Amino acid sequence: MSTIYILWLRQIKRYLRSRSRIIGSLGQPLLFLFALGFGLGPIYAKAGGGNYITFLAPGVIAMSVLFTSIFSGIEIIWDRQFGFLKETLVAPVPRLAVMIGRTIGGATVALIQGIIVFCITFLAGFHPESWSMVPVAILIMFLIAILFTAIGTAIASVLEDFQGFQLIMNFLVMPLFFLSGALFPLEGLPKAIEIITKLDPLSYGVDALRFSLIGASHFGIGLDITVLGLMTMFFLWLGSTLFARIQV
């Protein structure tokens, strides 16, 4: 337990010390929220969709959690390159404890980032339908963060260096985000796109956030939580299995 706590604390301290990282990670959420939100807002309203900022804000929050959690998992590659990972793995502690500590730490960092973006959405005019559901939204953010930190850990455990990083961004992270319904409603999509969105785990995270923040849901909150929970358990298992096989 002490190992998990130390690694969790290390992740938090690393994040808080890097002011440039905190500020830099807000760039994309601000761009999508203000440029896209206000740019497409009139078109969305004319189409009968209502306030686009209200629709968009949960998706932007989920995007922030996704990017931060994936990158927290992929930090394993950085640690491997500079020898920090070897120092951790040669310690007389189970690798499972190391993986859990890093995952919880990365998920906590992603949650902090999501809460920061949630606060920024107020500047764009967003407000939750019920403040009593905000703690539920925070729990959903944390569940999303654990899921994608575990995915990032699984990916980083099989990569030797950063050469595959761009491949991950272009063929995994960006499609996960754009096909999750974060930017557009999931109703009335072509059949092929509809199937892909149902296979995207982030779709259920965005949908659960929308339910908790604005009371709207496409899949239903029960299905959202079930899918997120099962996917999180699967990728925690996969990430821990692959992490245990790392050669340093």
| CA pair distance 211, 55, nearest whole angstrom | 11
Provide the domain count of the chain: 1
Domain that holds residue 196: 2-244
Residue range 153-181, pLDDT digits in tens: 888 888 777 677 667 767 888 889 999 99
Q: Supply the pLDDT for residue 231.
A: 94
Residue 200: helix, strand or coil by DSSP? Answer: coil
Residue from 240, 234, 38, 229 nearest 121 by CA: 38
Q: Supply the pLDDT for residue 20.
A: 64
Tokens standing for 14?
């690393």
Query: CA gyration radius for the chain?
Result: 18
| CA pair distance 22, 115, nearest whole angstrom | 12
| CA pair distance 57, 121, nearest whole angstrom | 6
Q: Supply the pLDDT for residue 83.
A: 65
Q: Supply the pLDDT for residue 134.
A: 94
Q: What is the 3-state secondary structure (H, E, C) of 137-195?
A: HHHHHHHHHHHHHHHHHHHHHHCCCHHHHHHHHHHHHHHHHHCCCCCCCCCCCCHHHHH
Name 30's Cβ contacts closer than 8 Å, sequence gap at least 6: 120
Residue 93: helix, strand or coil by DSSP? Answer: coil
Q: What's the one-letter identity of residue 6?
A: I
Per-residue pLDDT of the chain (248 residues; tens, 9 = 90+): 566 777 667 777 776 666 666 677 778 888 888 888 888 888 888 877 788 999 999 999 999 999 888 887 777 777 777 666 666 666 666 777 778 888 888 889 899 999 999 999 998 889 999 899 999 999 999 999 999 999 888 888 887 776 776 677 678 888 899 999 999 888 888 899 999 999 999 999 999 999 999 998 999 999 999 999 999 999 999 988 888 777 65
Burial 72-96 (b: 16+ CB within 10 A, else e): bbbbbbebbeeeebeebbeeebeee
Q: Which DSSP string do the residues of 219-239 spell out, in sequence order? A: S-HHHHHHHHHHHHHHHHHHH
Is the whole-model pTM more than 0.95? no
Q: Supply the pLDDT for residue 1.
A: 57
Angle at CA 225, nearest 5°, toward 207 and 150?
A: 95
Tokens standing for 147?
């899921």
Name 91's Cβ contacts closer than 8 Å, sequence gap at least 6: 3
